[in-house]
Amino acid sequence: YARYDQSGEMMLANLTEGIDTVLTLYQNQLKKGVDLKRNYTELPLVLCYPDELNQV
């Protein structure tokens, strides 16, 4: 997964959506028998570079 925000500007991002996006991309790499439980709390939007954050 290597896509960067071309605008170069920070923007408000939903961290929960970012986590779900990354998990979807790596879904096939998760081993069978792994039980992934998502238990998110409501978080405020964060000012960041979303594409770079998803790289982490």
| pLDDT tens readout for residues 1-30 | 344 455 678 999 999 999 998 888 888 877
Helix (H, G, I), strand (E, B) or coil at 51: helix
What pLDDT does residue 8 have?
Answer: 75
Residue 5 is predicted with a pLDDT of 53
Q: Where are the domains of the chain?
A: 1-31+45-56
Neighbours of 54 (CB within 10 A): 19
Q: How buried is 31 (Cβ within 10 angstroms: 0-12 exposed, 13-18 middle, 19+ buried)?
A: exposed
Instruction: Please count the helices (runs of H) and the strands (runs of E) in the chain.
Output: 2, 2
pLDDT of residue 49: 92
Average pLDDT over every residue of 17-46: 87
Specify the long-range contacts of residues 19-24, CB closer than 8 Å, at least 24 apart. Answer: 21/54, 22/54
pLDDT tier at 53, thresholds 50, 70, 90: confident
